[in-house]
Chain A
């Protein structure tokens, strides 16, 4: 094997280690309209789109911005809850998988969660879902955003309790981090 070839192989290996931060500059489009595979319907097969979002710091960070812009924070605060339930704990009324959270955002839920259908694109809902999961530390610390876009009276989420509360529905967490 020639040395340029070896070098490029090494670069590839190094890059693979960085995929948490990766953003494809060629714009490999994330699917917008594919079938929604609810984890509840098919727990064995998590939605293939999930991993593209929750394992990517850029998508989580976009979700964080949407979380403020769409007033999610008004009810759920920065995860601790208030008008709506806490998202930073282990209790999930409507399921903790990416697909469940996207369903919740898209269609609303009967006890007050409004539907954001028509206000967000599918991709934005997946970004939001990825951020929501990061609040309960379902994503690695390296992917969580350290700070908000604006000022916050709180501390960076990366400084929070390092012992992550675990979801009570591990089966549905197939698409989880570990």
Chain B
């Protein structure tokens, strides 16, 4: 009971922090906007007002979608990390480590390259679909290769090592594509491997919003079953969970939300690893709390990382993956060293 109250207040606090960070992230960047600037820019959208000025258009068409996309992508990565950790009953997995992100990045890069060569007409959804296909292929490949020959289960060591290899494979494939590509976006290997939100626009926001919000709400419906999985697959079955079905559903949600986010931002690692940890330390391991909390915390952390990326080399910017890795890698190593958490 008391724990439930603590968790509610925690989630409320996290939501407030996310809003504060959102406010900071729309104000500061290559160019700072005052509150009055922001109000004027928003008013120019209303009918009967003057056309937006260049600065106002920068705010409305670049800054604002970028800030919102950042929240959504952060939420996707946080929720993806929580789902993967619950599924594998292990706190050191995340979507980037089992190949999902690099596969999705490969799918997107291939889409740009083939699009340039074949000149097919692209709809709004073809890029995210290409990313999903790439994500599904790479994730499936990792699972297939990591499975032990004896009992068909994937040990966490095999999973991480296989993930490493598959990541390297897809990254070099992306390297090859960027070498032969003519499309400027596909040409940028840093875009895919280190991630950036600089390509944000309202189309991206729309698509990522659908997958993130839909995926998170769907995952919440399975939170109780994921809790039961914490005490083991057999025990979860005894508690009424169809474990195989649950695995497929959770894996699919994870691949879709992470792949769609990756299609627009490139591979951003370690957010999905850190976020569930912070939450477990604060409010325990109940997945109902973790899923909502990791959406909020992921959004907040990625927005902070994006602020750092934008402000540290003003007016140029850092790829956001450099910021998340700088924080994430030490945390990952620390977790690896704590033996009781692994294997």
A binds B: no
